[in-house]
Amino acid sequence: MQEYRMHLMLCAGTGCVSNRAFDIEKAFNRELEKHNLQDEIQVVDTGCQGFCERGPIMIVQPGDIFYEMLEEKDIPYLVEEHFLKGRPVEKHMYVPKEGDDPIPKLSDIGFFKKQKLIALANRGLIDPENIDEYIGREGYSALAKALTEMTPEEIIKEVKDSGLRGRGGGGFSTGMKWGFAKNSPGDEKYIICNADEGDPGAFMDRSIVESDPHVILEGMAIGAYAIGASHGFIYVRGEYPLAVERIYKAIKDARTYGLLGDDIFGTGFEFDVSVNRGAGAFVCGEETSLIASLEGNMPEPRVRPPYPAVAGYMGKPTNINNVETWANIRHIINRGATWYSSIGTETSKGTKVFSLVGKVNNTGLVEVPMGISVRDIIFDIGGGVMNGKKFKAVQTGGPSGGCIPESLLDTPVGYDTFAKIGSIVGSGGMIVMDEDNCMVEVARYFLAFTQQESCGKCTPCREGTRHMLDILTRITEGKGKEEDIDILLEMSELIGSTSLCALGATAPNPVLTTLKYFRDEYDAHIKEGRCPAKECKSLIQYTILADKCTGCTLCARDCPVDAISGERKGIHIIDPEVCVKCGICKAVCNFDAVRIES
Amino acid sequence: MNLKPEDLKKISEKMEASTNLRSGAGRAKITVHMGTCGIATGARDIMKAFLDELEASGQKDILFTTTGCAGLCSHEPMATIEIQGESPVKYVHLTKEKVKTIFKEHVMNGKIVEESALGRGSERVG
């Protein structure tokens, strides 16, 4: 077999696939064949490469040439120019901002430069559906090392010494957790991978499973050997079809090679996994609810202790870790605890994957060393706020997290540093908000989410979040009362301290942090009936500036409720009684004549 | 089929060329210039000749790539050979026979084939 001389690493993560990556692939194969290049150049589907904002993306190797926003119609030209004639095409290269020169190489692009990949080490470099490619990048060598050279105690010590903490949001020492499960009496034990990623805007776990499914299986097998389990479950969100498909393929291939099953590597160790698909309940991301769901019961949390390490699945000792935690294991075993713990800060070791979303230029998936500042993530990697707007806050840790204001942007990323300012690292969502976001509305939005997802078991969470949501809704409608703030604070404290699981315990976080850092916005709503960000519909009015309106009639024609009147070439007027504040008039106006007042 | 730990190494070796190509790791890099001028004077045959040599040698740590016109169209077909840690050497007026010699002498043994070489180094960029 002659080796391919060139590999086109085409991103086939969910983001790029929904941007028609598979059509692009077909076009490439068609064009390559047309030029008789099909035996020289190979198109490889990879998992998510992180730069989702610019998808569909592709990296050409060798050469490290990065192409973005590929379109089917441009493929014939690209194939002819670059692959036949050797001239990389500038049109699809990354341009940092208008007027800059295009940057041909991936390694020179700011978004990628500051990242440090451990959990995502294979991203963009392998075909996730080809087990040989995983093995080619040291895949399963950590499992071989663990099974043939290490005792379970040594493995647990290594993981503990590495300082790895739960990446699902808990932040508990992974090594200690394993130790508890190992030391719990019982001859039947279980391992679970929590891939039920439910935070709005978070997609790191999905991307890991999609781009490198074997890393999960290898991590779980090592964990199973360490605690003495022979069966594992992967509990994956039902809404992640591509992740499910790839994990099934990975399991099948691992079984064929005997990397799952009986007598792995001839050591007598036996381990296999099964996949369970979640049915869409957010609370299943909480470990005891997830276990209840696996057992076929209602997904509701239960009192801890006993912890799952003592009594988990079917009452047996169970160790449950999140996808990203599992993805770190093989590197810790291969490269050692000393190496891993040299990365990060005193109390937060290693790296963390964040899904960077919201009003940021470079939306995508980033992996950074712990200790990097939030500012570096948003401005250096993320390329700053979209459309030149002013940064207001970043919500970290999903609906259970808090909003970090501009003044705290230099906070280093870490479990304890984030806790100190009222937020959490959580599973790694990072939602950037700009000056147009009303922070009361943000708090209301997240609370509406947790309220809806509350399983209903604990009264404070079930009833309390409902009551808080009512108050917040009232405030955004301009009907807030001065005493509302005190009630919100009191209820936050109560719900936080009396809910069984983290869903309820952390639900008030967005309210608490916005009250702490953006109290003036609450006051403006309550005392002045005004929304400073001009987002709350009940408190704003659209008007047309007489000196700017040219009477082009565009707004009147586009208004869905016919609220705008005016003659051609005459000044137009919006009827506030009819206006539904959809914002279309402002969006279509070419003369910047529509203003929002509050 | 149950793999043994040593089987992982065999699979890795089988995948080595692929893995190296994607991570840009290699002890030598062969670049064939394939601008219009290069193609017109037979750069594709030169490319094929290099690929054949590469395959016959069984070497996995040599990267092969193509690029555009080097700016010296009258001397095409051209190729650049870069041994890791040394300055790149440009070869001109290539033929299949010259490719054989260059591969054997320079790529495999590190000896520059003076009679086909234009010179050492590349233009500075920027």
- The whole-number pLDDT of residue B72 equals 83
Cβ separation B22–A258 shorter than 8 A: no
Is A576 within a domain?
Answer: yes
pTM for the full predicted model = 0.90
**Same domain? A221 vs A331:** yes
- The whole-number pLDDT of residue A574 equals 95
Is A119 within a domain?
Answer: no
**Same domain? A426 vs A472:** no
For chain A, the first-to-last Cα distance in angstroms comes to 70
Q: In this structure, what token pair is assigned to residue B97? A: 């026979």
Residue B44: C-alpha distances to residues A5, A8, A33, B34 (Å): 13, 19, 16, 8
- The whole-number pLDDT of residue B120 equals 67
**What secondary structure, in 3-state letters, does A78-93 show?**
HHHHHHHCCCCCHHHC
Count Cβ atoms below 10 Å from residue A225 Cβ, excluding itself.
23
What tens digit of pLDDT does each residue of A495-531 get?
999 999 999 999 999 999 999 999 999 999 999 999 9
Nearest to A331 by CA among A341, A344, A346: A341
Is A533 within a domain?
Answer: no
Is A127 within a domain?
Answer: no
Is A253 within a domain?
Answer: yes
Helices (H) then strands (E): counts for chain A? 25, 18
A352 near A366, Cβ under 8 Å? no
Task: Give the sign of the dihedral formed by CA A197, CA A323, CA A228, CA A230.
Answer: positive
**Same domain? A443 vs A576:** no
Note if the bond before A56 is cis, omega within 30 degrees. Answer: yes
pLDDT average, residue stretch B51-58: 89
**Same domain? A300 vs A398:** no
Residue A245 pLDDT grade (very low, low, confident, very high; cuts 50, 70, 90) = very high
**Same domain? A448 vs A430:** no
Domain of residue A285: give its range: 133-339
For B35, the closest of A2, A86, A258 (CB atoms) is A86
- The whole-number pLDDT of residue A480 equals 95
Q: Provide the Cα torsion A180, A182, A188, A189; round to 10°.
A: 60
Nearest to A334 by CA among A215, A231, A232: A215
What tens digit of pLDDT does each residue of A306-334 get?
999 999 999 999 999 999 999 999 999 99
Query: Is B8 within 8 Å of chain A by CB?
Result: yes
Strand partners, A97: none
Residues in A touching B39 (Cβ below 8 Å): 84-85
**Same domain? A31 vs A100:** yes
Place of tokens 């519909």: A537
CB-based contacts of B52: which residues, under 8 Å, 6+ apart? none
Is A322 within a domain?
Answer: yes
Strand partners, A59: A9, A66
B45 near B95, Cβ under 8 Å? no
CATH number of the domain bearing residue A266: 3.40.50.11540
Give SS3 for B79: strand
What tens digit of pLDDT does each residue of A428-480 get?
999 999 999 999 999 999 999 999 999 999 999 999 999 999 999 999 999 99
Q: In what order do the strands lie in the sheet with A429-434?
A: A364-369, A351-358, A429-434, A391-396, A403-405
Place of tokens 């590597």: A265
Residue A399 pLDDT grade (very low, low, confident, very high; cuts 50, 70, 90) = confident
From the CA of B101, how many Å to the nearest CA of chain A?
A: 21
Residue A540: C-alpha distances to residues A478, A527, A536 (Å): 10, 15, 7
Q: Which chain A residue lies closest to B57 (C-alpha atoms)?
A: A2
CATH number of the domain bearing residue A366: 3.10.20.600
A60 near B40, Cβ under 8 Å? no
User: Strand A269-277 and strand B28-33: pairing?
Assistant: unpaired
**Quick one: what percent of chain A has pLDDT higher than 90?**
89
Q: Which chain A residue lies closest to B67 (C-alpha atoms)?
A: A86
**Same domain? A148 vs A289:** yes
CB-based contacts of A10: which residues, under 8 Å, 6+ apart? A16, A21, A24, A25, A28, A43, A44, A45, A46, A56, A58
- The whole-number pLDDT of residue B123 equals 58
For A148, the closest of B5, B18, B22 (CB atoms) is B5
User: Strand B79-83 and strand B28-33: pairing?
Assistant: antiparallel
Provide the b/e sequence for A474-492 (b: ≥16 CB within 10 Å).
bbbebebeeebbeebeebb
Q: Count how many domains chain A has.
A: 5
Inter-chain Cβ pairs, chain A and chain B, closer than 8 A: 97
Is A210 within a domain?
Answer: yes
For B3, the closest of A3, A84, A257 (CB atoms) is A257
Cα A35–chain centre separation = 40
Helices (H) then strands (E): counts for chain B? 5, 5
CATH number of the domain bearing residue A558: 3.30.70.20
CA angle A326, A330, A331 (to 5 degrees): 110
The half-sphere exposure of A597 on its side-chain side, counting CA atoms within 13 A, is 9
A215 near A208, Cβ under 8 Å? yes
Residue A1 pLDDT grade (very low, low, confident, very high; cuts 50, 70, 90) = very low
- The whole-number pLDDT of residue B125 equals 52
Q: Provide the Cα torsion B23, B27, B30, B31; round to 10°.
A: 50
A123 near A42, Cβ under 8 Å? no
Among residues A499, A528, A557, which one ends one of the domains?
A528
Strand partners, A58: A10, A67
**Same domain? A400 vs A413:** yes
- ipTM of the complex in this document: 0.84
Residues in A touching B67 (Cβ below 8 Å): 86
Q: Please enumerate, as own/partner, the contacts of A27-36 that have beta carbons within 8 Å and a separation of 24 or more.
A: A27/A72, A27/A75, A27/A76, A28/A75, A28/A79, A31/A75, A31/A76, A31/A79, A31/A80, A32/A79, A32/A83, A34/A76, A34/A79, A35/A79, A35/A80, A35/A83, A35/A84
**Same domain? A522 vs A573:** no
**Same domain? A260 vs A381:** no
Residues in B touching A6 (Cβ below 8 Å): 65-66
**Same domain? A141 vs A255:** yes
Cβ separation B68–A87 shorter than 8 A: yes
**Same domain? A413 vs A507:** no
Query: Is B18 within 8 Å of chain A by CB?
Result: yes
Q: In this structure, what token pair is assigned to residue A252? A: 């099948």
Per-residue pLDDT at B58 exceeds 90: no
Q: Which chain B residue lies closest to A133 (C-alpha atoms)?
A: B15
pLDDT average, residue stretch A29-38: 93
What tens digit of pLDDT does each residue of A75-101 get?
999 999 888 877 889 999 999 887 889
Nearest to A62 by CA among A82, A38, A47, A80: A82
Q: Which of B21, B31, B64, B84 to mutate to test the interface with A (most CBs of A within 10 A)?
A: B21
Q: Which chain A residue lies closest to B38 (C-alpha atoms)?
A: A85
Task: Write out the CATH class of domain B26-120.
Answer: alpha beta
Give one word for B71, left, alpha or beta, with left for phi > 0 and alpha for psi -120 to 50: left
Q: Which amino acid is at A533?
A: A
B63 near B26, Cβ under 8 Å? yes
Q: How does DSSP classify residue B124?
A: P
Residue A326: C-alpha distances to residues A163, A169, B61 (Å): 14, 14, 31
Cβ separation B2–A264 shorter than 8 A: yes
Question: How far, in Å, CA of B7 to CA of A96, rounded?
Answer: 45
Per-residue pLDDT at A122 exceeds 60: yes
Note if the bond before A405 is cis, omega within 30 degrees. Answer: no
Phi and psi at A341, nearest 5°, equal -75, -5
Q: In this predicted structure, which of A457-466, A489-498, B60-69, B117-126 has the lowest mean pLDDT?
A: B117-126
